[in-house]
Amino acid sequence: MTVNKDLAFDDNNPYIKGTKSVNGNCIVPIPPFLNEFISEYIKTLPGTNLFYSANNKYMTASAYNKMWSNIVSKMNVAAGGSNRIRIITGLTAHIFRHNYCANLCYQMPNISIKRIAQLLGDSEKMVLEVYNHVLEQKENVQEVVKNSINF
């Protein structure tokens, strides 16, 4: 899936804007188990954006907030909560992005920082600055030093 624009809001009014930088134009790989579902969903859309309101217009900020609230509510119930018992709180799409990047960082060295940055539509510098603590957790300095001099 190609990502090359953002839905933004001026108060409640939606508009399409370009990505923040050239890095924001990226191709996001879709895992095979999601590909069929997403492909079928895309066929139902009136245009090239992923999220529309019920009247096939760009989603307003209030419609987005309602959609997100419904997603979190369903996740809360799936996690064992209910409408009165909140297990999941404070979850935002931005937190999902952080979790995605952190999980990618935990996959190193099977994936490079350069590739992680490409998947996020960000720079390698940003990934290093924000997620370096994840990379440091994976380090085994003693083993690396030992292996580098015991060739």
Question: Could you report the per-residue pLDDT of 66-123, keeping only the tens digit for each?
Answer: 999 999 999 999 999 998 999 998 999 889 888 888 999 888 889 999 999 888 888 8
Is 80 exceeded by the pLDDT of residue 26?
A: no
| 19 or 16, higher pLDDT | 16
Helices (H), the chain: 32-43, 61-78, 93-106, 113-120, 124-138, 141-149
